[in-house]
């Protein structure tokens, strides 16, 4: 189980999964890594991120050209909320997708991006940008 911590600024912000996912899909070139507490997929200059859905499940895929190199299955119904931990190292912003029950709270998925969530930008149209 991954621990829940405080971001660099000492405070945590939370998002719904739907809000986070919608925002994340507009920022595929900003992802440094994605995974679970046990395994991670890493970005590289000759790779790109792709998002897919199949029924209730979502997929985050890392690709080289058209070749699938790795895939992360996201089960949205298991995600209670998304926690933005802030900036750890310069230019690395961490997000944890949390499952919470009456008796337990744990990290299901992890994302590290080049920037944090911006609620003012989140509602804008399909706007992607590249940061590596």
25-72 pLDDT tens trace = 999 999 999 999 999 999 999 999 999 999 999 999 999 999 999 999
Residue 87 confidence class, pLDDT cut points 50, 70, 90: confident
Residue 127 confidence class, pLDDT cut points 50, 70, 90: very low
pLDDT at 123: 52
* Closest C-alpha among 91, 83, 84, 80 to residue 32: 91
| Domain tally, the chain | 1
Residue 5 lies in a domain: no
The range of the structural domain enclosing residue 82 comes to 13-114
Q: Under the phi-then-psi rule, with left for phi > 0, alpha for psi from -120 to 50, and beta for the rest, what region is 49?
A: beta
Residue 106 lies in a domain: yes
pLDDT at 25: 94
Residue 132 lies in a domain: no
Strand ranges in 1-132 using DSSP code E only, listed in sequence order: 13-15, 31-35, 40-42, 48-54, 57-64, 67-74, 81-87, 93-100, 105-113
Residue 8 lies in a domain: no
Residue 76 lies in a domain: yes
Residue 78 lies in a domain: yes
pTM given for the model: 0.81
Residue 1 lies in a domain: no
Residue 75 lies in a domain: yes
């Amino acid at each position: 189980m991954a621990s829940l911590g405080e971001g660099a600024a000492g405070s945590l912000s939370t998002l719904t999964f739907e809000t986070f996912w919608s925002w994340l899909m507009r920022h595929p070139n900003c992802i440094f890594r994605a995974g679970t507490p046990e395994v991670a997929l890493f970005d590289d200059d000759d790779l790109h991120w792709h998002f897919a859905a199949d029924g209730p499940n979502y997929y985050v895929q890392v690709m080289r050209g058209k070749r699938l190199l790795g895939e992360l299955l996201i089960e949205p119904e298991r995600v209670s909320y998304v926690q933005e931990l802030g900036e750890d190292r310069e230019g690395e912003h961490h997000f944890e997708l949390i499952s919470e029950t009456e008796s337990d709270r744990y990290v299901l998925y992890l994302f590290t991006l080049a920037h944090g969530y911006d609620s003012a930008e989140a509602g804008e149209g399909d706007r992607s940008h590249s940061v590596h």
